[in-house]
């Protein structure tokens, strides 16, 4: 690990497919040469997240910080901040990181933390986005990459991808269609962020 590079720390909670796509794009597109950037570490708040073994397979440093071992959201976020800051990150990437963040945490990474949300924001913040889009009769759905601010799923929008909602869609079928676009959208949005950085 090169200590002079712009470090990117990725936070996950689940399968880590977005994380893997970002890592693969970084390698394929040689972000280390083009932007002097590297994926430094993957951190999960869930010990059994599938994304951890994926990170292992990709040869990435990875760590667990189990939120269940902390008495409060503040205590967890303070410890997470310490773990992240060991890497002095230029960018923190939330990739399926299913935690509400404290204002202090968000403030600390202001302007250098991105999230992907599986809806066309500002529609459908929060959970169950695909079912809600179907129930509302939406003809399109999608995903949004945005800067993280204190209010959940708000913050300046950096990129969006749109997919059709088709007759007979279930939350699962729509989620799969959206996720396949997330896999293209998130690496692209990060690349564009690095180009501007």
Query: Nearest residue to ligand GRF, using CB?
Result: 96
Q: How far apart are CA 178 and CA 197, in angstroms?
A: 28
142 binds ligand GRF (CB under 6 A): no
Q: Give the helix, strand, coil percentages of the chain, each rounded to 5.
A: 40, 20, 40
The residue among 40 and 174 lying less far from ligand GRF, judged by its C-beta, is: 174
Site map for ligand GRF, 78-107, x if CB under 6 A?
-----------------xx-----------
Q: How far apart are CA 77 and CA 80, in angstroms?
A: 5
14 binds ligand GRF (CB under 6 A): yes
157 is in an annotated binding site: no
Q: How far apart are CA 95 and CA 65, in angstroms?
A: 15
The stretch near ligand GRF (CB under 6 A) out of 3-11, 14-22, 56-64, 81-89 is: 14-22
Dihedral over alpha carbons 101, 126, 53, 35 (to 10 degrees): -70
Which runs of E-coded beta strand occur in 2-105? 6-12, 37-44, 62-64, 91-94
Tell me the CB-side half-sphere exposure of residue 29, using CA atoms within 13 A.
20
The CB-of-125 to ligand GRF minimum distance in angstroms stands at: 12
The stretch near ligand GRF (CB under 6 A) out of 12-20, 22-30, 33-41, 148-156 is: 12-20
Binding-site residue numbers for (6R)-10-formyltetrahydrofolate are: 73, 98-101, 115
Q: What are the residues binding ligand GRF (CB under 6 A)?
A: 12, 14-19, 51, 95-96, 116-118, 143, 179, 182
**Residues acting as catalytic residues:** 117
- Annotated binding residues, written as ranges, equal 16-18, 73, 98-101, 115
């Amino acid at each position: 690990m090169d200590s002079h590079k712009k470090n990117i720390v990725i936070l996950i909670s689940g399968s880590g497919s977005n994380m893997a796509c970002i890592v693969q794009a970084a390698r394929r597109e040689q972000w280390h040469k083009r932007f002097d950037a590297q994926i430094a570490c993957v951190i999960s708040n869930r010990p059994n997240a599938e994304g951890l073994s994926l990170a292992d397979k990709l040869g990435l440093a990875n760590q667990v910080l189990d939120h269940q071992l902390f008495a409060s959201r503040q205590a967890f976020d303070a410890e997470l901040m310490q773990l992240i800051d060991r890497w002095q990150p230029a960018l923190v990437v939330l990739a399926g990181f299913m935690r509400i963040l404290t204002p202090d945490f968000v403030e600390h990474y202001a302007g250098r933390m991105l999230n992907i949300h599986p809806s066309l924001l500002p529609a459908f913040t929060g959970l169950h986005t695909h079912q809600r889009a179907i129930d509302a009769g939406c003809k399109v759905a999608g995903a949004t990459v945005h800067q993280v601010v204190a209010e959940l799923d708000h913050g300046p929008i950096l990129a969006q991808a749109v997919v059709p909602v088709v007759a007979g869609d279930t939350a699962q079928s729509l989620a799969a269609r959206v996720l396949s676009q997330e896999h293209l959208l998130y690496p692209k949005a990060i690349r564009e962020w690095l180009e501007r950085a």
